[in-house]
Amino acid sequence: MKIEGIDLEKERKEILSAFRGLLRVSKEKRTRQETRMIRKAFDVAVEAHKDMRRKSGEPYIYHPIAVAKICSEEMELGATAVVCALLHDTVEDTHITLEDVEELFGSTVAQIIDGLTKIPEVFDENVSIQAENFRKMILTISDDLRVVLIKLADRLHNMRTLESMREDKRLKIASETNFLYAPLAHRLGLYTIKTELEDLCLKHMNPVAYDEIETKLKSTKAVRQRFIRRFVHPIKEALLFEGYAFEIKARTKSVSSIWRKMQSKEIPFEEVFDLFAVRIILDTSEEIEKSDCWRVYSVVTDFYQPNPDRLRDWISTPRANGYESLHTTVMSPQGKWVEVQIRSKRMDDIAEKGLAAHYNYKESKSGENKFDRWIGEIRDLLESPNANAMDFVNEFKLNLFNDEIYVFTPRGDLRVLPTGATTLDFAFDIHTDIGLKCIGAKVNNRLVPLSHQLKNGHQVEIITSTKQKPSEEWLKFVVTARAKQKIKNALNEERKKIADDGKEIVDRKFKQYNIRFVGENITVLEKFFKVPSATELYIRIAKGKIDLSKIRSIKNVGGMLHWEREIKKTKITSSSDINKRIDKKKDVLVIGDDFNDIEYSFARCCNPLPGDSVFGFITISEGIKIHRTNCPNAENLMSKNAYRCISAKWKSKELKEHIAKLRIVGIDDIGIVNKITQIISFQHNVNMKSISFDSYDGIFQGKIQVYVFDKQHLDELIDKFVMLEGVKRVERWDEIQDEPSEDEEDNLP
């Protein structure tokens, strides 16, 4: 049977073949009853999605099958997760309800599916749907971690098949993935998945950089492999002589990791020295794996000189996500530093597959759940379920990528805290009451303040006082989500009490002047006294910072008609008005044309030029800002507030000067500044706004601002600079802090 050129019978066979592939990868992990449950879930999903197709044109059912396969093959999850993966979009996208799922598959599957089902996208200008959905998913983390793992598998398959989406959609999904899901995979110990997500994000967000690094990795592969063979040969011979069962792998650094290092160190690809690491995996029993790893370390350092500052012992003190390994960096005979990772097969399974592999070893002596502490931190965040979803996401993300330090209580108990943690973080880590009453601490018997940063090995004794109260200043001292949340809760309670007192004062004053206590009149007071909210108004009144006798000078306090008429005269710049006038899925802002009488301007953080790939961001009060898609702020804006982003393109014939910023790095030489300014002077229609140069140890760095017409115009100027002798690198220069828009600042890092 065929429909519009589609061979349905052939498709049906291909779908069954894909399902059989899923069964093959999970055959060793399921009972007959579980197999029947998986087949039943497949049948339900096929029927529910039968009329649905993906953007690529293929039947939609391929997606849940692929997600289920990732769960089974790459995460080693069991039958329940496979069933949930097959059904994960049915409640959201089809006629199937949660009640149907519970009746067919039980309460556990229904609970997981509920956690995976997105919140309906009812528009609210103050809500980020992405943040709300992420928050809802995380709410389930302390009940069933499989929700998060299946969601990561879902996101991974979406990223693998992103090519079929529109460019603006690709950028939004990649930004959201890079901002939230890759760090989450890292925190759960899913190193392989985290790396692939980051690489796919870079591929779509900065394809030029991705292709350049990938090409260079391929061209240097043969040289790298020869070097590795020579490096590992003496180690392999020695380990065989000692009688060890082992495997040696060479892991090349990921494309995204190389790109991050190039950016953070401001170096080209050729200067990234740690392009790969050598991994020695021992097949040894758990009882002696630690001592065996140290013996192998001794063998390695017999041949190569170690760097004492680069020894990392995550065997004695594993990381919070369960990662265990011994890392050292040694000098090769060719004068190159090489990282060597030493671990057992058990440790390698946990390092590669994270949480799922960790649970495979939970019966062993070292198998205590190392995620309990992290889940405890998440529970702390969830104590304020009505908190703003974006605040929740920001606090949650704080703890995803942090490295750890190990500190001790006065009794010698070990506590794990993120790098940068202070004595106040430590106090809240012990107990909330101790944190709220903390006035200082003794670190290694020396008195230190609340803001003192702790280091590995510190022994900390907290000093408390019943008279102590938390202040806003405390939020600057802490880095852990737990401490921030507890301080905010305490401050909010205190603010609420003060605001209640202020509200009573306003009520009494209104009665004195015979004014109705209604929302419209409170809004007039907010505007008159220039405060951002009613709560802030009440607090300032309670603290005596506002003189309510001035109420008599407000002519329209009893009625709002005159004020409302004035508002209607203002230009359309607020986000609510803009959203009423545009369809973000269809409308495209053409830069150079009038756009629905809506103001738009260029973001100063990235100074877009005609020819740049751009998008529009709807601000709260400044109309639409145009950003480059590779702007330093783009990832945050697209991931947190994708619903406020719209497509934009340049009007082809527009000819207008724009500011462009360039950074030039090279070898310092007499006359280099003069040569650069001469190029600018002789370049047709290029005018200079500013220029500054710094020189250090024979290297110069210049920052130039010029006026150009478009990206092609700028590229011609860059090409001239690159040809100049001594110049090593020329790049666009963006600064996040340049963008002063008040409402956008709330959404930037």
Spatial separation of the C-alpha atoms in residues 115 and 107, rounded to whole Å: 12
Residues whose CB is less than 8 angstroms from the CB of residue 430 and which lie 6 or more positions away in sequence, other chains included? 409, 415, 462
Spatial separation of the C-alpha atoms in residues 7 and 423, rounded to whole Å: 67
What are the structure tokens assigned to 457, written together? 């090995």
Q: What DSSP character marks residue 431?
A: -
Q: Which residue among the candidates 92, 103, 143, 493 is catalytic per the annotation?
A: 92
Active-site residue flag, 92? yes
Residues whose CB is less than 8 angstroms from the CB of residue 68 and which lie 6 or more positions away in sequence, other chains included? 22, 81, 82, 85, 86, 153
Burial class (CB in 10 A: 0-12, 13-18, 19+), 89: buried
Strand partners, 650: 591
Count of CA atoms in the C-beta half-sphere (13 A) of 535: 6
Residues whose CB is less than 8 angstroms from the CB of residue 536 and which lie 6 or more positions away in sequence, other chains included? none
Active-site residue flag, 472? no
Spatial separation of the C-alpha atoms in residues 164 and 169, rounded to whole Å: 10
567, 690, 664, 659: which is closest to 621 by C-alpha?
567
Q: What DSSP character marks residue 665?
A: E
Spatial separation of the C-alpha atoms in residues 255 and 79, rounded to whole Å: 34
Three-state SS at 93 = helix
Residue linked to tokens 């190193």: 191
Handedness of CA 521, 524, 528, 529 (dihedral sign): positive
Give a three-class secondary structure readout of 231-252.
HHHHHHHHHHHHCCCEEEEEEE
Three-state SS at 639 = helix
Q: Which residue among the candidates 11, 34, 58, 93 is catalytic per the annotation?
A: 93
What is the rounded (10 degree) CA torsion for 692, 694, 699, 703? -30
What is the rounded (10 degree) CA torsion for 443, 448, 449, 452? -60
Spatial separation of the C-alpha atoms in residues 260 and 612, rounded to whole Å: 22
Active site residues: 92-93
